[in-house]
Amino acid sequence: MEWVGIKPVYMLAKGRPPAAPATEYLTAIRHFGAKRMLTIRWDVSIIMTVVGLVLVVSISTNPRAEPGPIGRWLMNEPLTLWDRGMMRAQEVADRAGKQVVRKVGARGFAVAHYNWENNEINISLFVFGFHGKLSHDICNQTRRSFISKLAGYSIKQDAERVRKEIPELVSRWFSHIGFESKSRDKKLGEKMARIIFVGVFLNGKQKSITCKERIRSFDAPSKPL
């Protein structure tokens, strides 16, 4: 295709007579047609807009900008299996907590948190506006329901069955995805379960009660608050 001047094409698209020889004008018509000329005008406008934006961004952006001390610290901190396990525990606690709270017709939330001083992972369910009488049995009943749902059961299950499956559940929380390290402790889930405590806090109209014990124990001491 032979070269066609942009100027006459652009002028024609704007509805003004071309400031160029008639032969150049006719050549543009033959090659592009009126609709194509409008497209060329649109393409040129887009190109000029993009170039303008690039210039503005280049001028307004500091080419020497770098992450500050906090940003560099975050970039150097690795994401570990401990982080993944705690995030997974929080996700599971959220789901289980919502199911329990919905069942008792109250409101509340669940939290998974590591206590450095005691070397404990606490998975706690807080229930507010609990209807009915609060007692040791009610607290433990709610806690057993919470543990069952942590294990992935939507209905009540045999305590012994859930107790046996908890180490495998915990092991999945603190695991790689798609592979397993050869150096991984075969009893990791069982050992981690020893430091995981599940607690329930129930708040009623007149009083509150709490019960907490290791995750594999289905009977926890309670304490009125």
Question: What pLDDT, on the 0 to 100 scale, is given for residue 35?
Answer: 46
Report whether 130 contacts 107 (CB < 8 A). Answer: no
Global model pTM greater than 0.75: no
Question: What pLDDT, on the 0 to 100 scale, is given for residue 215?
Answer: 96
Taking Cα atoms as reference points, which of 126, 122, 121 lies closest to residue 139?
A: 126
- Mean pLDDT per block of 10 residues along the chain (225 residues) reads 40 45 45 46 56 57 75 90 96 96 92 96 96 92 94 76 91 92 93 97 93 95 91
Question: What pLDDT, on the 0 to 100 scale, is given for residue 144?
Answer: 94
Question: CA-based angle 140:142:144, to the nearest 5?
Answer: 65
Question: What pLDDT, on the 0 to 100 scale, is given for residue 156?
Answer: 64
Question: What pLDDT, on the 0 to 100 scale, is given for residue 143?
Answer: 95
Question: What pLDDT, on the 0 to 100 scale, is given for residue 162?
Answer: 87
For the purposes of burial, counting CB atoms within 10 Å of the CB of 24, is it exposed (0-12), middle (13-18) or buried (19 or more)?
middle
DSSP classification of residue 92: H
Helix axes 81-104, 159-173, angle to 10 degrees: 140
Name, in order, each residue with C-beta under 8 angstroms of 26's C-beta and a sequence gap of 6 or more. Answer: none
Length of the chain (residues): 225
Question: What pLDDT, on the 0 to 100 scale, is given for residue 225?
Answer: 84
